[in-house]
Structure 1
Amino acid sequence: DADGLNNLADLGVEVLRERKGITVLTPHVGEFERLSGLEKSYIVENLVDVAVDFSVRYGCYVVLKSSRTAIATPEGKVYLSVRGTPAMAKGGVGDVLAGILTALIGRGMPVEWALKLGVFLHGLAGELAEKRKHRETLKALDLVESLPSAFRLIESRAYSQAFEYLL
């Protein structure tokens, strides 16, 4: 997650044009600032537009994390998730998301669906973890421990419909 994005920023994002495989970037606003050269305040105010622009320009998927998460595709589609909690703004939580996305894609799920499900699942796990813990003590492992409960909720009819509606 962070190390890969930092390396990409150091190399220059133009290298994205040279790759052959599917690429998914999962930056938070600060990391995206380094990648794009845009000001943080501009990114926050224009989250959807900057995610889509970058995704289309470089032919990659972008999962841009802020208080909302924008999922942009190389074809210019965008999905917005409002799941999650400010307590998730801690080190390691983005690595949990990267792991979820990698696992779903690795199982053969189409990338776009894997990103939508993964972001929704990650946010829901964060909400469940915050209910069990206090927002000040929440850590990445708490999200991992909440994943089974989050999966069960998504499998229920109510959350399946919410997933379709929100994404």
Structure 2
Amino acid sequence: MFGKGGIKPGEFVFVVQKDGEYNKVVIGRIQAVKGSKVHVAGTQIRPSGLIQRVGAGTAGERSKQVLSNPDPNNCIFMLIDRVETAPFNGETDQAVDRVIWINESRYLVLDGWIKENFPEVFAAALTSPTEEDRQQAKAVLREKMGALYERDLKEHVYAVARSARLL
């Protein structure tokens, strides 16, 4: 239940849906509410890179925890590796899926992260096989970061790049 009077059309959400052994997430805007069912329009995100690393045994405990229990605060660990995305325009049931309210700013940062293709850019910078490839990927990342106009997204990307020691 969100805020006073519950969940409403127009609000932004982060939805966690079971996807086989792991979870995928949907970020989007609520279009309609019918009981426990919520119609959401947005983007579906499957963390394929993180799933592969966990399957290969090269991911740490934190990564496993994020896959089993993603939320708006830890999902960045999903988004610094390769992801599969698709438009989402459908119904989700709050009795089955976890629906978490997020503010517009958080939604715009997550949406911008996906639209600007930062998962691929970060994955290249973090996992390139040679030092030369890694330096080239870091240069692409710096160039892409410098071209950002949305202040919240830019601050978020810079913070993640610093904490990942890419700057």
TM-score when scaled to structure 1? 0.31
TM-score when scaled to structure 2? 0.31
Return the structure number with greater relative CO, CA threshold 8 A, min gap 6: 2
Question: Structure 1 or 2: larger strand share?
Answer: 2
